[in-house]
Amino acid sequence: MFQGKIMNKKIISKQVYSLQGIVKIALLSAIAVVLTLVSMPIPIFPAFLKIDLGDLPALIGGFALGPVAGIIVEFIKNVFNFILKNDGTGGVGNLSNFIVGVSFVVPASVIYVKKKTKKRAIIGMVVGVISMVILSSLSNYYVIVPLYAKLFSMDAIMNAMKQANPYIKDMKTYIVYAVIPFNLIKGSIVSLVALLIYKKVSPILKG
């Protein structure tokens, strides 16, 4: 059993670092960049929280090639979005997207690659969404919003949040009424789409 785990890790490592693996990761990263550029705001959330499917290629890459591939796709996606899509946050938004994306993709792919069944995929994505919600809450509270406050005034940030949702009155209510539900919705949408398309695209990635 232990030898089997070692062999599995070696196979995944070969898939990631081979020429084919690099090409697949590059393709997934390009798709992720495009998907991130197409985003949809939700009226009850602040304008900077937008739904997109940019984590989908990273999740599919993590399932097919292992969690390292998912991390690489998330990293490349955010580097290129920082270059192409100047959102005026000095990269803070990209840092947040990377933290949240990795917190979703890594647990999901780690659970799935150990035993590739639909049940494990669902369990992995559920755990991934929970991890995403926890990490996004902690990172926003302790890292992301304080960094935003250095670029803009905290009053301006809070006013933008309150305009979107009157229930948001401070950092704690921002986490409860914006960060948690937003990431639950986004993670669920990405998971559902992944379930629908993964089996159709996985032969291409494995081939």
**Domain coverage including residue 133:** 2-206
CATH number at residue 161: 1.10.1760.20
Instruction: Tell me the whole-structure pTM to 2 decimals.
Output: 0.89
CA distance 204 to 20: 11
Q: What is the count of structural domains for the chain?
A: 1
Helix ranges restricted to H, the chain? 2-17, 19-37, 56-65, 67-84, 92-114, 118-139, 145-151, 154-164, 171-174, 180-206
Cβ–Cβ under 8 Å, residues 106 and 98 = no
CB 144 within 8 A of CB 153: no
pLDDT tens across the length of the chain (207 residues):
544 454 455 545 556 668 888 999 999 999 999 999 899 999 889 888 999 999 999 999 999 999 999 999 999 999 999 998 877 778 999 999 999 999 999 999 999 999 999 999 999 999 999 999 999 999 999 999 999 888 888 888 898 899 999 999 999 999 999 999 999 999 999 999 999 999 888 887 765
Q: What whole-number distance in Å separates Cα of residue 31 and Cα of residue 136?
A: 23
Asked if 65 contacts 24 with a C-beta cutoff of 8 angstroms, the reply is yes
